[in-house]
Amino acid sequence: MTPAPIASTIVAIALIPVAFLFCHAFLTGWRKKHFHYVAGIIAIIWDLTVSIGYMMYRAMGGAIEGATLQVTSAVNAYFMVHIPVAVLVMSLELVVIGTGLRNLKTGTTNEWTRRLMKTLFAIWWLAFLSGEIFYIVMYLM
């Protein structure tokens, strides 16, 4: 077992409340035909802050302190899928928050926001669960 890096641990824990906020925003919106804007906005801003902060930390040379992760072909394959999915999620979050804020301002409901939110919800869970599973397998097992 490789020791868990503090930055990865912070991200793994910090994204758990986002899952609850996304579920709340999505499930309340499912019944009411519009998404819970407050929970959705908080979830998206929180997720973007944590995800972009972590990516910037790593891009600026932030080492995974104390970790000696064995980079195998399986780990490389995981990151070749996970990173583009994470970038797609962040892009969708920006579009969803933009259309959602426009809906709030105009007082109308845009069908694109609903469609994009459904897509974001599914893809976000894929990225979130794959990241959490990777963390558990690599650092806790």
The residue extents of the domains of the chain are 6-140
Give the model's confidence band at 70: pLDDT under 50 very low, under 70 low, under 90 confident, else very high.
low
In this prediction the pTM is 0.83
Of all residues in the chain, what percent carry a pLDDT higher than 90? Answer: 40
CA distances from 112 to 50, 74, 98, 128 (A): 26, 36, 11, 23
Question: Residue 79 has what pLDDT?
Answer: 85
pLDDT of residue 91 exceeding 90: yes
Query: Residue 36: CB partners within 8 Å, gap ≥ 6?
Result: 24, 25, 28, 29
Question: Residue 1 has what pLDDT?
Answer: 66
